[in-house]
Amino acid sequence: MPISTFYTFLTPESPPPSSLLSLPPPPSGSLLPLSQTLQDEGILFHLRRQGETSLLAVWLTRHHGVLRTLARGAAKPGNPLRGHLDLFHECEITWDLSRRTSLHHLKEARLRENHSGLRQSYPRLLAATYFSQIIENVAEPDADLGSLHNLLQSALQWLGKKEPHLRLVERFERAVLKTLGVDDSRRTARSLLDDLSHRRPKSHAALMRQLTD
C-alpha cells in the first residue's frame, strides 16, 4: 500500500562564480566531463510517477544523505529498473550527479532487501514512513548518515515482523536524538525533534491516530 508524501524536487543551485565563466575553452578535440557517476546504498522512501514513463525516487543513502533521483523510463515494460523500485526497498544504486539541479539521473538499482513484511498492514507502512521522514528532516545535505541509516534499517526489519506501538515510536525518536548528540531526558523526544527541524511530518498525526484508537 503506497504512502505518498510531497517534496520539492527541482531546486536550482547557485550560479557558477564569475571566475569559472571566464575560464579559457578546452583544447580543440577535448571534452569536459558532463557528469560524475556515484554509488551508494539507499532506502527508497518516496516514489511517484513523473510523466508517462519515468519515476521520481527519493532515497535515504548511507553516505550521501537524502538523494532525489529521476529514473527515466522506469515505468516501461522491460526497463532494467522495473521491479527494483518500490517503497522501502533497499538497493545498491548508481546515479549521475547533476550539475544544474538537486535531481539526479538514476542509472542502476540492484535490490538487496524488499522489506515485504511492511505491506502486511497500514500501521507498519505508516510507521516506516514516519521514521524515514524524521531522518529526512534532521539530515544535513549530502551528509554521511552512518548510524542513522543503520537505525532505520533496524526499524524496518522490526516492522517487517511486528506491529508498531507507542513505545517503539518513542524509542526510535530518542535513538535519533542520541545519535545526533542532542538528547535531553527532561523533555519529550518529539518536542526536541520539533526544535531541530521546525516541522513535524504529517505522517506523525496519522500514526498517532492508528496507535491510540
pLDDT digits (tens, 9 = 90+) for 181-210: 999 999 999 999 999 988 899 999 999 999
Task: Label residue 83 by pLDDT band (50, 70, 90).
Answer: confident
| Model pLDDT, residue 33 | 52
Per-residue confidence (pLDDT) for residue 29, from 0 to 100: 46
- Mean residue pLDDT of the chain comes to 85
Would 13 be classed as within a structural domain? no
Report yes or no on 134 lying in a domain. yes
Q: Which amino acid does the sequence have at 197?
A: S
Q: How many domains in the chain?
A: 2
Torsional sign, CA 163, 135, 37, 2: positive
Residues 181 and 207 in one domain: yes
- Residue 99 pLDDT exceeds 50: yes
Contact (CB, 8 A) for 53 and 74 = yes
Q: Is residue 143 part of a domain?
A: yes
- The pTM for the full model equals 0.80
Last residue within a domain, chosen from 60, 79, 114: 114
CB 11 within 8 A of CB 20: no
Domain that holds residue 169: 117-212
Boundary (domain end) residue, out of 60, 88, 114: 114
Q: Outline where the chain has alpha helix (H).
A: 18-21, 122-138, 147-159, 166-180, 189-197, 202-212
Report percent pLDDT > 70 for the chain.
84
Give the amino acid at 203: S
Predicted confidence (pLDDT) per residue in 134-147, tens digit: 999 998 878 899 89
Q: Which of 8-17, 42-51, 117-126, 153-162 has the lowest mean pLDDT?
A: 8-17
Give the whole-angstrom CA distance, residue 41 versus residue 24. 38
